[in-house]
Amino acid sequence: ASASDEKDLVIIGGGVAGYVAAIKAGQEGLKVTCIEKRGTLGGTCLNVGCIPSKSLLNNSHLYHQILHDTKNRGIEVGDVKLNLTNFMKAKDSAVNGLTKGVEFLFKKNGVEYIKGAGSFVNENDIKVALNDGGETTIRGRNILIATGSEATPFPGLEVDEKRVITSTGAIALEKIPETMLVIGGGIIGLEMASVWSRLGSKVTVVEFLGQIGGPGMDTEIAKATQKLLKKQGMEFKLNTKVISGDKTGDKVKLEVDAAKGGKAESLETDVVLVAIGRRPYTQGLGLENIGMELDERGRVIIDSEYRTKIPHIRCVGDVTFGPMLAHKAEEEAVAVVEYIKKGFGHVNYGAIPSVMYTYPEVAWVGQSEQDLQKQKMPYRVGTFPFSANSRAKTNLDTDGMVKMLADPETDRLLGVHIIGPNAGEMIAEGTLALEYGASTEDIARTCHAHPTLAEAFKEAAMATSSKAIHF
Ligand code: FAD
Ligand code: NAD
């Protein structure tokens, strides 16, 4: 590429991190190119992650509710059948609509989109192996690495996405397995376990640690979640590590070992979901050509302005530090373009919410009790159960609670942990409060509409700063 064709910004990867940065750069008047090899935009999240999984979660919940939660509401339904082909089509239509939507936004914001795999030739030139054949080279004054992540494989158990699956296979199974064993009780494991268990599979979750939910979930909330998921029919083996697997026979066989207090045994299942985490993806990126090093977990090393050691090459999203979440990637994408264009940007890593879209949903932001204990920080706890919330009662949907943690001296909010109906929407209120440095009294004195689930949020704040009214 010649210097005259030089772009202000070349982005490698069209996932949430890459596409949001591209749109923002277009809006800021930068000459921007985004290179994506998948054939569609939106990355893991839109194609095989957040979006398809939420379609399956929503519709499997509806199905399960029609089967098991209508009689008590005075609704009598006839013969209920699942059409798995159409169930999957509904998911595909959400995915297609959204990925095409991003393509439209590229056009609207003047982003050049190149379909192909990009790799570094040198610090400014990116060679692209085009999906349609052939090759081109793009030169960038600034370059953004946004190549995302991939499922961590389980050693010795080759993924075929039919019997040994990752989340990508789990959103596309063609029949409902009789039994499913999930390795890893983190968010992917529990969301996918929920989908297939609701559709009729007998699901067992094997988790190495003593609690489910993956990193960051408050222990009290994790225990409550496990209890509710168990009631729905899921089985759990905690403190248990899968050590090896064998898929040569009719069934997949797994050897599990006791971690702390667990039991060593052999398990058999029709389908195994490997959900032991995700790892940064930099394959084929040619980082060796620019002498770029990775940390011990394969992450691209950056400073607080997302610069790698080559300052005009920056990096955001799953491929670098921090939680692997779409909204974290999105925040970083906006900030990195602001750094390039204006020299300053902003992401508050202390106020990034997490949501697990099981039923009920689990959501949290800020610190957990365990985080505070580790730092020997004093805290005050206030909780409010949904069983005491009028809207939850009218909805016959009373499982769960809101829990708040605050500084005992200043009353400043330190963390919010919710399990319950609509927790994923309600956590936005906690995030906003945390971002603005609210005290729990500030929240308690804010009028909330009646009757809403959000009143449980207000009453938990009341319970933290003084006393709740309805409990
Ligand atoms: P990615 O989305 O992985 O995008 C990177 C893109 O770069 C990919 O499309 C890849 O093809 C492309 N690429 C890589 N190398 C090259 C190259 N050399 N040349 C060209 N293109 C390249 N997060 C949430 O916040 N909420 C959720 O509900 C949620 N649900 C999830 C469910 C599942 C099943 C999974 C797997 C993940 C989920 N996540 C969720 C996580 C979320 O998907 C990621 O955090 C997010 O996609 C990260 O965005 P990214 O742009 O950094 O990476
Ligand atoms: P995770 O790290 O959340 O959970 C993996 C779990 O597997 C951990 O609890 C770990 O202890 C366990 N584990 C590891 N090795 C094991 C073994 N040999 N035997 C038994 N258990 C073992 O990872 P994930 O659930 O795969 O998710 C990957 C990423 O995707 C996460 O960063 C997650 O935040 C993101 N994601 C987010 C959402 C959401 O926001 N709703 C949904 C899906 C995925």
User: Which residue, judged by its Cα, is nearest atom 44 of ligand 2?
Assistant: 188
Q: Which ligand is nearest to the CA of 182?
A: 2
Regarding the beta carbon of 42 and ligand 1, being less than 6 Å apart is answered no
User: Which residue, judged by its Cα, is nearest atom 45 of ligand 1?
Assistant: 325
Distance 42 CA to ligand 1 centre (A): 8
Atom of ligand 2 nearest to the CA of 152: 26
Distance 378 CA to ligand 2 centre (A): 29
| Catalytically annotated residues | 450
pLDDT of 39 above 70: yes
Regarding the beta carbon of 355 and ligand 2, being less than 6 Å apart is answered yes
Regarding the beta carbon of 325 and ligand 2, being less than 6 Å apart is answered yes
pLDDT of 3 above 70: no
pLDDT of 374 above 70: yes
Regarding the beta carbon of 207 and ligand 2, being less than 6 Å apart is answered yes
pLDDT of 312 above 90: yes
pLDDT of 4 above 90: no
Q: Which among 16, 50, 171, 188 is the best mutation to test ligand 2's pocket, defined by most ligand atoms within 8 Å of the CB?
A: 188
- The average confidence (pLDDT) of the chain is 97
pLDDT for 330-353, tens place per residue? 999 999 999 999 999 999 999 999
pLDDT of 260 above 70: yes
User: Which residue, judged by its Cα, is nearest atom 35 of ligand 2?
Assistant: 324
User: Which residue, judged by its Cα, is nearest atom 32 of ligand 1?
Assistant: 49
Q: Which among 98, 147, 188, 431 is the best mutation to test ligand 1's pocket, defined by most ligand atoms within 8 Å of the CB?
A: 147
Atom of ligand 1 nearest to the CA of 43: 9
Q: Which among 45, 273, 325, 355 is the best mutation to test ligand 1's pocket, defined by most ligand atoms within 8 Å of the CB?
A: 45
Distance 148 CA to ligand 1 centre (A): 5
Distance 287 CA to ligand 2 centre (A): 27
Q: Which ligand is nearest to the CA of 156?
A: 2
Q: What angle (nearest 5°) sits at the alpha carbon of residue 34, between those of residues 28 and 39?
A: 140
pLDDT of 8 above 80: yes
Task: Give me the pLDDT at residue 352, please.
Answer: 98
Task: Give me the pLDDT at residue 92, please.
Answer: 98
pLDDT of 1 above 70: no
User: Which residue, judged by its Cα, is nearest atom 34 of ligand 1?
Assistant: 49
Task: Give me the pLDDT at residue 263, please.
Answer: 73
Distance 160 CA to ligand 2 centre (A): 20
Atom of ligand 1 nearest to the CA of 17: 51
Answer yes or no: is the ipTM higher than 0.90. yes
Task: Give me the pLDDT at residue 2, please.
Answer: 64
Task: Give me the pLDDT at residue 60, please.
Answer: 98
SS (H, E, C) the chain: CCHHHCEEEEEECCCHHHHHHHHHHHHCCCCEEEEECCCCCCHHHHHHCHHHHHHHHHHHHHHHHHHHCCHHHCCCCCCCCCCHHHHHHHHHHHHHHHHHHHHHHHHHCCCEEEEEEEEECCCCEEEEEECCCCEEEEEEEEEEECCCEEECCCCCCCCCCCCEECHHHHCCCCCCCCEEEEECCCHHHHHHHHHHHHHCCEEEEECCCCCCCCCCCCHHHHHHHHHHHHHCCCEEECCEEEEEEECCCCCEEEEEEECCCCCCEEEEECEEEECCCEEECCCCCCHHHHCCCECCCCCECCCCCCECCCCCEEECCCCCCCCCCHHHHHHHHHHHHHHHHHCCCCCCHHHCCEEECCCCEEEEEECCHHHHHHCCCCCEEEEEEHHHCHHHHHCCCCCCEEEEEECCCCCEEEEEEEEECCHHHHHHHHHHHHHCCCEHHHHHCCCCCCCCCHHHHHHHHHHHHCCCCCC
121-130, 252-261, 275-284: which range is least confident on average? 252-261
Regarding the beta carbon of 169 and ligand 1, being less than 6 Å apart is answered no
Atom of ligand 2 nearest to the CA of 188: 25
4-8, 69-73, 218-222, 289-293: which range is least confident on average? 4-8
pLDDT of 264 above 90: no
